[in-house]
Amino acid sequence: MNRDNGFVEHTLANGLRVVIEPMPQVQSAAGGFLVQTGSRDETPEFAGVSHFLEHMCFKGTAKRGWEAITVDFDNMGSTYNAYTSKERTVYFGWVRVDDLERQVDLLVDMMQSIVPPEEFEMEKKVILEEIAMSDDSIERKVYDLIHETFYGGHSLSWPVLGTTDTVGAMTRDQLFDYFQSRYHPANMVLIVAGAVNPDDVIAMAERTCGEWRPKSPRPDRSAPPSAKQAVGKRVTDRFQQQAIGLVYPAPSATHPDRENGDVLAAVLGGQNSRFFWNIIQAGIAPHVAAGRLDYCDDGMMIAFGFAEPAKVEAVLEAMRKEIDKVSKNGVVEEEVQRVKNRAQTALATESEAPYYRLMQMIHDVDVLGRPRSVTERLAAVDAVTPATIRAYLEAWPLRSDGLVSLGPRDWPNDD
């Protein structure tokens, strides 16, 4: 057992890692399983299998049908959910501390789903409808187009939901085989935050998870292409607006420059940002923003906007103007401090609730391999200054951008 920096860690004999943060000042506890597999770990023909499996883990086990799973969550008054991303799948719940073991026992049971055949086809219809609904979201379609354009041929390029073709062709046995290959101690971490005794949590993990059989870990991930100089476009009459995006190389989720990139993106295109005052408030476009997407081994800085199709040239010019200004002149202390204040307030307030603290720990354990204390997280944001952002811009220059366009115009080539 390892006790360090306010955390307690223990690894069961079967390899399951347990990470605990005691929070004695609260009355509740949150716990969940991080499954270290996501859509980037799939093969092309099974795109969407991780998300499909997330749904099926709620549909039945050897002990419980889907109705019993739902009722058991509700009987605890649990705030529970699950999500799938490109790099992880997570199942979690937040309850009164006296109900933590019941909560974990339920989640453990779900991690041993039987993927009930009688529920498979019905849930497939639900997911196909979810894919259809995502096709109606211009934000989602631009996000997908960016990944297709800059990660083409790599597993990061396809949607977490998969496609109509891949999900439609998937069988229950294929899903169950994937489940057995990924949901086991080598790929999972049990994480708990709240008013708990760590020794009690470890004993609980031994009781509920100790009999799980170890298997081979997830296959190594292939490195994605790093080039961000390409043009991707999709002509569609589904939307009346045209969406455009500029894409630049940026640090990965593990790189020490990540906080500088996040603050820069917020100065450029966040709340009360340069984009807001000089583009949105100037009436050039109703929505323009910037942000950083990151994965364990790559990242992107993205500036994007939505506007009437006839105005895309003006929007592009306005975005590039602000990007050029920040590249040449850097940022000023006042705007950096404003962003830092918002980020630190969010970190501090979230850290007071086990539910949000669990989310922070899940991210850090998966990405960095270890949890960070609230103090360490706050210090990382506080270390950002105009000078460190200037250094960031030298290391990660905002030039030679990639471009994506989605909407009714065949742009940029329709002149």
Same domain, 398 and 357: yes
Using one digit for the tens of pLDDT, what is the confidence trace for 163-192? 999 999 999 999 999 999 999 999 999 999
Using one digit for the tens of pLDDT, what is the confidence trace for 332-345? 999 999 999 999 99
Among 176, 209, 242, the domain-final residue is 209
Asked whether the beta carbons of 239 and 407 are under 8 A apart, the reply is yes
Beta bridge partners of 292: 301
What integer pLDDT is reported at residue 414 of this predicted model?
56
Give a yes or no: residue 59 inside a domain: yes
Same domain, 197 and 259: no
With pLDDT > 90 as the criterion, what percentage of the chain qualifies? Answer: 95
pLDDT band at 276 (very low <50, low <70, confident <90, very high): very high
Strands 7-11 and 89-96: unpaired
Same domain, 12 and 153: yes
For residue 163, the domain's CATH number is 3.30.830.10
pLDDT band at 356 (very low <50, low <70, confident <90, very high): very high
Range of the domain at 398: 231-407
Same domain, 320 and 360: yes
Highest mean pLDDT among 4-8, 168-172, 222-226 belongs to 168-172
pLDDT band at 1 (very low <50, low <70, confident <90, very high): low
Among 158, 175, 209, the domain-final residue is 209
Look at residues 73, 74, 112 and name the one whose alpha carbon lies nearest to residue 208.
112
Same domain, 143 and 251: no
Same domain, 245 and 331: yes
Look at residues 221, 182, 222 and name the one whose alpha carbon lies nearest to residue 50.
182
Using one digit for the tens of pLDDT, what is the confidence trace for 204-221? 999 999 999 999 999 999
Greatest extent of the chain over all pairs of C-alpha atoms, in Å: 69
Give a yes or no: residue 89 inside a domain: yes
- Which residues, at least 6 apart from 263, have a Cβ–Cβ distance to it below 8 Å? 336, 339, 340, 343, 381, 384, 389
Using one digit for the tens of pLDDT, what is the confidence trace for 63-81? 999 999 999 999 999 999 9
Give a yes or no: residue 323 inside a domain: yes
Same domain, 178 and 242: no
- Which residues, at least 6 apart from 286, have a Cβ–Cβ distance to it below 8 Å? 280, 306, 307
Give a yes or no: residue 66 inside a domain: yes
Same domain, 192 and 236: no
What integer pLDDT is reported at residue 400 of this predicted model?
76
What integer pLDDT is reported at residue 229 of this predicted model?
87
Q: What is the mean pLDDT of the chain?
A: 96
Give a yes or no: residue 164 inside a domain: yes
Asked whether the beta carbons of 220 and 391 are under 8 A apart, the reply is no
What pTM was computed for the model? 0.95
pLDDT band at 38 (very low <50, low <70, confident <90, very high): very high
Give a yes or no: residue 284 inside a domain: yes
Same domain, 190 and 332: no
What integer pLDDT is reported at residue 45 of this predicted model?
96
